[in-house]
Amino acid sequence: MIDLLWLMVDALLVTLLLILGWITCASTDIKRGITLFTAFGLLLALIWARLRAPDLALAEAVIGAGISGALLLRAINDHKPLGSSTPQRSAWMTWSINLMALALFCVMSWSMWLTLDQVDSTRLSQLVLSQLDDSGVSNPVTAVLLNFRAYDTLLELAVVLTAVLAILALSPMRSAFQPAGVLLTGMLRWLVPVLIVSAGYLLWVGAHAPGGAFQAGAMLAAAMILLHQGGYHSGSGLNLMLLRVLLVIGIALFVGIGLVMMLLNQSFLDYSPGWAGLLILVIETAATVSIAAALTLAFVGGRPDGWEPVTDSSNPSNSAEFNS
């Protein structure tokens, strides 16, 4: 009986998710689309919680729904709707895309149906759980992220840094918001300290319960984004040198600790036994700061010191080439 009830809940969640995904993709009004996308992210967070992935539920609620939504809403004004002159796909093209999508769905579902009960998916999880005591933390996801597969996380930080460098090189900072009204300012005074404390809690608790550097970093970034929207110019008090240090500190410390471990243990990122818990906490703290700085800059959209990238019009020979 209980199983049947759970199955009904699952079916309801899946149906809602598919409908939300469909109307998010199909909506022509972009504001409506972004709002639906935020709702989609929150529903997905619920589904992660249902599938016993609370770390993901936290990350999805903050990043997938919150920060992505804020980023996209801020970008609406960059792209004025092109009006009725938007080119449409030809009917033939639309039909072939639909047909291809349907065929792809059928083939992939069929192969999933055939293979799902034949793979032994417990092997890796058994391996992780049996080695958990040596990892220095007791949350298996944090152990995988920062110990067993630390290379992945290191390279992920490199990807985030590269994306932010590209954003900084591409465009100037977006114009700031007006100072907020009394109501929003009052709410910010309550919310921002709570967010900062929650970020610290998530970072600390990540060692033995759901949480960790990504969730904490995203929550700090959310506090900064809220301040920015309330008209506090978060960039003005921050000099460029400090910003560079904040952006790089996560990956620099990670590589530094990896190299020291290579000198001590002959192997990159192979933590000494007994020190693993402390080293993971140090790396996570630095990564939190870097991720928060990166996501805040991604939202602000450029360097906070007013520097602007060189445009083609300032280079006469270049623009002449374009015109000819």
CA distances for 67 relative to 43, 64, 185, 246, angstroms = 15, 7, 20, 19
Pick the piece of the chain touching another protein (CB under 8 A) from 183-191, 255-263, 271-279, 296-304.
296-304
Options 1, 159, 183, 320; binder of another protein; rule CB under 8 A? 159
22 contributes a contact to another protein by CB under 8 A: yes
Give CA torsion, residues 294, 299, 302, 304, to 10 deg.
Answer: -80
Nearer to another protein, 128 or 180 (CB): 128
Answer whether 12's CB lies under 8 Å from 31's CB.
no
Which residues inside 171-230 make contact with another protein, applying CB under 8 A? 171, 212, 214, 218
Options 1, 5, 83, 87; binder of another protein; rule CB under 8 A? 87
8 contributes a contact to another protein by CB under 8 A: no
Task: Give exposure, 16-28, as e/b (b: 16+ Cβ within 10 Å).
Answer: eeeebeeebeeee
Options 136, 137, 153, 269; binder of another protein; rule CB under 8 A? 153
Two structure tokens written together for 261: 């471990």
- For residue 79, the 8-state DSSP code is S
Two structure tokens written together for 16: 């809602």
Pick the piece of the chain touching another protein (CB under 8 A) from 59-67, 191-199, 229-237, 245-253.
59-67
Pick the piece of the chain touching another protein (CB under 8 A) from 32-40, 187-195, 230-238, 266-274.
32-40
User: Residue 241 CB, nearest distance to another protein (Å)?
Assistant: 23
117 contributes a contact to another protein by CB under 8 A: yes
101 contributes a contact to another protein by CB under 8 A: yes
Options 8, 12, 109, 321; binder of another protein; rule CB under 8 A? 109
35 contributes a contact to another protein by CB under 8 A: no
Nearer to another protein, 56 or 261 (CB): 56
Give CA torsion, residues 200, 205, 206, 207, to 10 deg.
Answer: 130
Measuring CA to CA, which residue among 212, 192, 234 is closest to residue 287? Answer: 212
Options 1, 4, 91, 112; binder of another protein; rule CB under 8 A? 112
Options 230, 250, 258, 301; binder of another protein; rule CB under 8 A? 301
CA distances for 210 relative to 43, 133, 176, 195, 258, angstroms = 19, 17, 35, 17, 25
Distance, in Å, from the CA atom of 124 to the CA atom of 119, rounded to the nearest integer, reads 12
97 contributes a contact to another protein by CB under 8 A: yes
10 contributes a contact to another protein by CB under 8 A: yes
Options 137, 160, 173, 188; binder of another protein; rule CB under 8 A? 160
Options 137, 143, 207, 293; binder of another protein; rule CB under 8 A? 143
Task: Give exposure, 55-74, as e/b (b: 16+ Cβ within 10 Å).
Answer: bbbbbbbbbbbbbbbbebbb
Answer whether 37's CB lies under 8 Å from 73's CB.
no
